[in-house]
Structure 1
Amino acid sequence: MKNIITLLVIFILIGCKEQEKKEAIQYFKKYDETAEIDQQQSHENSRMKFKLLQSKFLNMNEVFEPFQKDLEQFSEEEYNRLKPLIIERSIPVIQQSIKEGNLSYEKLTLFYLYRIRKFESDSTKYLNAIISLNPNVIQEAKERDKAAKEKEVDISSVFGMPILLKDNINTTNMVTTAGALALKDNQTNDAFITKQLKTNKALILGKVNLSEWAYYFCSGCPLGYSAIGGQTLNPYGRKVFETGGSSAGSGVATAANYAVATIGTETAGSITSPSSQNSVVGLKPTIGLLSRSGIVPISSTLDTPGPMTKSVIDNYILLKALLGKDTSDEKSFELTEDEKQFKTQNLEGKKLGVFTALLNDSIYKKTIDEIKSAGATIVEISPEQTSLQGFLTLLNIDMKHDLPKYLNDKKVSEKTVKDLVVFNEQDSILRAPYGQQLFEGIVKDTTSADAFVKVKSNLKEAGLSYFKVFETEKLDAILSINNFHSAYSAVAEYPNLTIPMGYKETGEPISLTFIGLPKTEFKLLSLGMAFEKLTKERKLPKDYE
C-alpha cells in the first residue's frame, strides 16, 4: 500500500511538473478585449469599428509548437545582437553578413520566428499578421547553410531568405485558407510561384493574414479581417490607421520586419493599398507576368501576385525569383531579355505624368518638386474620367466560375459561392460577423455570357482610354498616390510600383505609385530605385524597432 501511495505521489509530482512546463510555454494567451472593442466604436472611420480583434480560431501556441526547442536556445541577447544585421537590411546586405560568417540562414530564420513570437504574443503590440508557419523551416535553413559551404551564394538572390506568403497562395505543408473557415483544412500542392521560390532556394517561412476571400466577401467591412486570422493591425498606428487590403498581412509583416519579404496578390489595389498604408515597396505586375495557378481566385481576368518588400532592390530580386512561364495559366507570358534590363538610373531626362488634381496634397506636391529638381520633366495631366461601369459584374462573374474551378479538386465540402454562402449562414457570428454581401451579390448576378464579354471589353477600353496620355505625351511613367488609380490600372492591365514617399502629420504612411505601360516592370523598378535613393523616406514603425 505504501508503495502504491509513493507511486501516486511521484505521478502527481511528474504531472504537476509537466503541467507547469506546458503553462510556461504558453506565450500566446487570449484576453478580454471588450473595452478595446467598445473604444473602437468611436472611431471616425466606420471600417475601423471592429467587432473583434483576436482570432476565435487560431491557437498560436500550436503554430509555434514545432519551434519550441530551437527557440529555447535562442536568447534575447542573441536577438539583440543580430538586430543590426537584419532589421531593415536589404537582401544583398543580409547575404553579405552570412557570407562573412556573422550570420547564418538558421540564425536568420530563428531571429524572425523569435521576433514574430515576441510581438504577436504581446497584447499591446500584436498585429495578427501570421496565420501559419512552415514546421520544417529551421531544418530547411540548416540545409541552406550546408549548401552555402559547398557553393558560393549570389548575394543578390533569394537563396535562404525567409519569405511569407499571403494565405491564398497554395503550399504543400500548410493549409491554404484565404482567411475563411470553410477552407480551414484545405491541403494543397504548391502554387506555381511557390515552386519558383523553392527552385530558387528561398525559405517559405509561413502564411500571413488577409482580408477574407481577398476582400471580395463583405461590403464596408474592416480591411485585414478574416475569420481565421482575426483583425490585422497597422504597426504605424494599431487600431488607428487601416492596414489596407486585401494583402494586409503581407504589408504589415513586411513593415514590422517579420520576414525578409512577403508575397501579396491584387485584383484592384490589393498590393498597392497595403504597401502604401504600411510604408513598403509593392509591385503589382502586368497581368500574366507572374503565374496565378494555385492561388485562390477572384478574377482570372485581373488577378496577379506580386512582391512586397522594404526596398526596391529586394523587390527586383524577389520578382526575378518568381518569374516563369506557366502553361496552365492562359495569360502567362515571359519577358524578353531587353524587357528584363534593370539599371540604377537617374531621374534626369525622364518624362513623368503628374495628376493636376493631386497637387493639392502637400506631400505629393513636395515629392514632385524633388523629382523635378533631380532633372525629370514633369507633365501635368488631367485624364478624362471614363466610366468603370460593370466592374463589380466582372468580378462577380469571374469569381462565380473561377472559384469552383479552384475548389473542384480540393477536399472541402463547399464547391461553389452559393455553397459558401449557405455554410457561412450556419454560424454567421463566427464565420461572417460583418456579413457576406458581395458573396450574396455573386449568387444573384445573372449576367449572360455575351453580356459578360461586352462588360470586359468596355472596361479594358475604358482603362486604355484613361491612360492614352502615355502615348500622346510620350511618358516614361505616371505618378499617383497610394492606390488612387488602381481600378484603372487593373482594367488596363498596367503595372504599378508603390514606394514610400512620407508620412502625414498623424504619422500615417503615404506612398508614391509609379504607373507604367505593360511589360515595363523593370523600367519602373529602375525609376523606383532612383526615386528611393533621392528621398529615402521609409521608417521602421516606432514600436517595432
Structure 2
Amino acid sequence: MKKYFLLLVIILLSACKNEQENKEEVVLWTPYNDSIEVAANADHENGRMQYKLIQSKILDKNEVFSPLYEEVSKLTEAEYQKLLPMILEQDIFVIRNHIKEGRLTYENLVLFYLHRIYKYELDNTTTLNTVIALNKDVIEQARELDRLSEKGVVTKIQHPIYGMPILLKDNINTLGMKTTAGSIALMDNEVDDSFIVQQLKKNGALILGKVNLSEWAYFLCSGCPVGYSAYGGQTLNPYGRRVFETGGSSSGSGTAVAANYAVAAVGTETSGSILSPSSQNSVVGLKPTIGLLSRSGIVPISSTLDTSGPMTKNVKDNAILLSAMLGYDELDSASVEDNFPGVLSAGLHPIPFSDMRLGAIKELIQTDSIYKKTIEDLKEAGATIVEFTPPEVAMNGFLSILNIDMRNDLKSYLKEYTDPKLVKISSVTDAVIFNNQDSLVRIPYGQALFNGILSDSTTTAELEEIKSNLEKNGRTFFDNAMDKHKLDAVLSINNYHAGYAAVAKYPALTVPMGYKNTGEPISLTFIGKQFSEANLLRLGKSYEEKFPNRVLPKDYQN
C-alpha cells in the first residue's frame, strides 16, 4: 500500500511540474531588434529623440504579463468590443452608472483595461513601453467588489474612485510591485504602500499596475530622451511613436491615460513632470500646491518642490482622483491638515465664463497661433482677459535646490524604505558608482546630473537663501498681474512656466487645447495661487466643456 501511495505522490508531483513548465513555456512577447527604429530616428530634428535604444535591455515583458494571461485571455474580442462603448473615453460617473445598473461589473472593467494593455503593449509595432508592472491580484480584488455588491454590502458612502483601476508612476511605493524609479539599482526594491496609495485603497481604488518614467524622475542625465529609463526602456507617444516626445518625467502616466489603459494614473512633479507629459499626450494633468498631497513613500528629488498629482482623460475625473488621495500625513513635514472642501465636486460645477478673470501672457499671444486663437475664443465666450507681460525675475540657484535636496532626500528615502538586502545603494554616490560599473546598460546617456549633485558645494545657509529668494521671485512673476487685476488664474502653454510655479509652490492645471499642424498635442495651462485647486478645476471644466479638444490617438481607438 505504501508503494502505491509513493507512486501516486510521484505522479502528482510530476503532473504539477509539467503543468508549471507548460505555464512557463507560454511566450507572450518576443524581444526584437530595435536597431532599425533607432537608425530611423538618428536624424530626428529633436536631438533628444535621437535614441540609442527603445527596448529595455532589462525588463522581460513575459514576466510582467504571464501571471494574468490565463484570466485576461478569457475575455474574448467580441466581449471586449461589447464593453468598448461603455468604457472607452468615458468618465468615472458614466462607468459607475453602468455598474450600478448591472450592465458592467468591476471584474469586466479591469479585464477591459488589461485586454487593451495586452493588445497594444505585447505588439512591438504598437507598444508604448508604458506598463512595466501589473498587480497580480487585481482581477480577484475586482471580483471581491462584485461579490460585495451582489450581497448589498456597503459599509460607508462610497467615494467615486471605488472600484476604478488606476495606474501609478513607478517611483510611488506600492505593496506587491517593485518600485524602481526606472533604475536598475532599485529593480528589486520591495516596499509597503506609500501614503497616497493607502488613501487610494482606503477609498476603494483598484491599483492596476505601474508605469514607466524618465529615470530618477528625469534627474539623471542631461539632454537625454524624456520617458527613458534603463529598467523600462523608451516610452513612446501614442500620437506619434518616435515622432513626438512623451514629455517627462511622468511619461508612462501620460501615455497610458492617453491610450485608455486605465481610468486614470498618478504622476509626480518637481518642475513640469506632470504638466509636460499631460500636455504632450493630450490629457488633463494637475500639479497641486506643495503640501496638498503627501510625498512620503515616493522616491524623491526635492522635499522642497516634489508633489504627486492626478492625470486623467477629463477634468471631472481629475477632481475625483485628487480627492481620493487627500489626507494629512504626519510623516510629511509639508502636509497640510485640511479636507479642502470643493475639490471632489469641482469637476461638476464649471464657472460661468462671465465670472472669469484670466491673465494672458502677451509674448505667447504673439508667438503661438493656437494660444492666440484660444484667448480670442475665451473672450468671445464671455471671459474677461487681461493681457500682460510678467516681470523678469531671477531663477538663480534653482538647480542647487534639486542637487542638495536630492543628495539628502534620496539618502533618507533609501534608509527609511528600502531593504539593504535587496537594494545595494544608500546614497547618490553609491548610485553613481553602481551605474559606472556597466555604463552601456545602466547609463547609456550618461549621468551628468547625478555627477552635478556630487559636485555642488552650496552650503545649508546658501540653500535656504536660494529657496527663499526663488519662492518670492516665483510668486512675483504671477502675483503682479493677479493682484493688480484680481485674476482667477494665469494662462500658459504646456509646462512653459512650470519652473516659476514650482518655486512659488503654486498649483497648475493643464487641459487639452488642440493639436499642431503636425498632429502634436498642445495644452492650455491654468496657474493659480496656493490651494486654489478647486477653482482651477472649475475653470478647467468650463473650458473643457465649451471646447472639447481631446481626440483619442487614431491607432488606439479599437
| Structure 2 stretches lacking a partner, 5+ long | 1-13
Q: 1:295 aligns with which of 293, 298, 306?
A: 298
CA distances 1:480-529 after superposition (whole Å, capped 9, x unpaired): 00000000000000000000010000000000000011010000001111
Q: Which deviates further from its counterpart, 274-283 or 455-464?
A: 455-464
Q: Determine the C-alpha separation between the residues in 2 that align with 1:320 and 1:338.
A: 9
Q: Does 1:471 align with 2:483?
A: yes
The percentage of aligned residue pairs carrying the same residue is: 56
**SS of match in other structure, 1:348:** helix
Q: Determine the C-alpha separation between the residues in 1 that align with 2:330 and 2:342.
A: 21
Spell out the pairing of 1:183-332 with structure 2 (5 A cutoff): 183-332=186-335
Q: Determine the C-alpha separation between the residues in 2 that align with 1:16 and 1:195.
A: 39
Asked if the contact 2:326–2:339 (Cα under 8 Å) also holds between the matched residues in 1, the reply is no
Q: Give 1:400's aligned residue.
A: 407
Q: Does 1:505 align with 2:517?
A: yes
Aligned AA (1:345): I
Shift of 1:155: 8.1
Asked if the contact 2:159–2:204 (Cα under 8 Å) also holds between the matched residues in 1, the reply is no
Q: Determine the C-alpha separation between the residues in 2 that align with 1:89 and 1:476.
A: 29
Shift of 1:48: 0.1
**SS of match in other structure, 2:117:** helix
Q: Does 1:356 align with 2:342?
A: no
Q: 2:372 aligns with which of 343, 365, 373?
A: 365
Q: Determine the C-alpha separation between the residues in 1 that align with 2:81 and 2:498.
A: 40
Aligned AA (1:431): R
Q: Give 1:115's aligned residue.
A: 116
**SS of match in other structure, 1:131:** strand
Asked if the contact 1:95–1:155 (Cα under 8 Å) also holds between the matched residues in 2, the reply is no
Aligned AA (1:128): N
Q: Determine the C-alpha separation between the residues in 1 that align with 2:323 and 2:18.
A: 53
Shift of 1:98: 0.9
Q: Give 2:451's aligned residue.
A: 440
Q: Give 2:143's aligned residue.
A: 142
Q: Determine the C-alpha separation between the residues in 1 that align with 2:18 and 2:141.
A: 35
**SS of match in other structure, 2:522:** strand
Q: Determine the C-alpha separation between the residues in 2 that align with 1:196 and 1:41.
A: 44
Q: Does 1:175 align with 2:175?
A: no
Aligned AA (1:432): I
Q: 1:100 to 1:276 in 2, by over 3 A?
A: same
Q: Give 1:489's aligned residue.
A: 501
Q: What is the number of equivalent residue pairs in this alignment?
A: 534
**SS of match in other structure, 1:510:** strand
Q: 1:431 aligns with which of 428, 438, 442?
A: 442
Shift of 1:21: 7.0
Q: 1:148 to 1:345 in 2, by over 3 A?
A: farther
Q: 1:393 to 1:137 in 2, by over 3 A?
A: same
Shift of 1:29: 0.9
**SS of match in other structure, 1:511:** strand
Q: Give 2:73's aligned residue.
A: 72
Q: Give 1:124's aligned residue.
A: 125
Q: Determine the C-alpha separation between the residues in 1 that align with 2:258 and 2:67.
A: 25
**SS of match in other structure, 1:357:** helix
Asked if the contact 1:335–1:519 (Cα under 8 Å) also holds between the matched residues in 2, the reply is no
Asked if the contact 2:360–2:491 (Cα under 8 Å) also holds between the matched residues in 1, the reply is yes
Q: Determine the C-alpha separation between the residues in 2 that align with 1:216 and 1:21.
A: 39
**SS of match in other structure, 1:41:** coil
Q: Determine the C-alpha separation between the residues in 1 that align with 2:168 and 2:517.
A: 32
Shift of 1:346: 1.6
CA distances 1:360-380 after superposition (whole Å, capped 9, x unpaired): 311111111111111110000
Shift of 1:357: 0.5
Shift of 1:335: 3.7
Shift of 1:179: 0.3
Asked if the contact 1:218–1:438 (Cα under 8 Å) also holds between the matched residues in 2, the reply is yes
Q: Give 2:37's aligned residue.
A: 36
Q: Give 2:3's aligned residue.
A: none
Shift of 1:439: 0.3
Q: Does 1:94 align with 2:91?
A: no
**SS of match in other structure, 1:35:** helix
Q: Determine the C-alpha separation between the residues in 2 that align with 1:539 and 1:294.
A: 35
Q: Determine the C-alpha separation between the residues in 1 that align with 2:206 and 2:502.
A: 30
Q: Which deviates further from its counterpart, 464-473 or 428-437?
A: 464-473
Q: Give 1:382's aligned residue.
A: 389
Q: Give 1:523's aligned residue.
A: 535
Q: Give 1:8's aligned residue.
A: none
Aligned AA (1:72): S
Asked if the contact 1:166–1:250 (Cα under 8 Å) also holds between the matched residues in 2, the reply is yes
Shift of 1:334: 3.5
Q: Give 2:470's aligned residue.
A: 459
Shift of 1:541: 0.3
Per the normalisation by structure 1, the TM-score is: 0.95
Q: Determine the C-alpha separation between the residues in 2 that align with 1:41 and 1:69.
A: 40
Aligned AA (1:487): G
Per the normalisation by structure 2, the TM-score is: 0.93
**SS of match in other structure, 2:321:** helix
Q: Supply the RMSD in Å over aligned alpha carbons.
A: 2.0
Q: 1:533 aligns with which of 541, 545, 552?
A: 545
| Structure 1 stretches lacking a partner, 5+ long | 1-11
Q: Does 1:164 align with 2:164?
A: no
Asked if the contact 1:339–1:519 (Cα under 8 Å) also holds between the matched residues in 2, the reply is no
Q: Determine the C-alpha separation between the residues in 2 that align with 1:335 and 1:517.
A: 17
